Amino acid sequence: DAGVIQSPRHEVTEMGQEVTLRCKPISGHNSLFWYRQTMMRGLELLIYFNNNVPIDDSGMPEDRFSAKMPNASFSTLKIQPSEPRDSAVYFCASSLMGNEAFFGQGTRLTVV
């Protein structure tokens, strides 16, 4: 398996634009997580899905953020409209039945 695949690896966008981050989890994993990492806050859980269903989105900072998982092999995290303070590295991770989570390489988002 190629592991968790995220795209794009880098994204630079202007304030106010919509940003969509994509994730393909490891095949067979039933949990998917979106994390955000910044120097200020470290690694924060934004939302997680279990069997494609959002279970806990309490970490989503505000309504500008939304996440979907239309099927077991794909998830998106959308920010609309984006703001400079959203600049961070966004990680997707997947796991099986509460075991260790495997992380993707991340998407480095810069909002100017």
Task: Catalog residues that contact another protein under the rule CB under 8 A.
Answer: 4, 31, 33, 39-43, 45, 48, 50, 55-56, 91, 93, 95, 98-106
Choice between 70 and 98, CB closer to another protein: 98
What is the bridge-based pairing of β-strands 107-111 and 10-13?
A: parallel
81 vs 4, 14, 36, 89, CA distance in Å? 26, 10, 17, 17
Minimum CB distance to another protein, residue 63 (Å): 22
32 vs 17, 24, 57, 59, CA distance in Å? 26, 9, 12, 14
Minimum CB distance to another protein, residue 83 (Å): 16
Please name which of 89, 86, 105 lies closest in space to residue 17, comparing C-alpha atoms: 86
Choice between 2 and 40, CB closer to another protein: 40
Choice between 66 and 105, CB closer to another protein: 105
Minimum CB distance to another protein, residue 70 (Å): 19
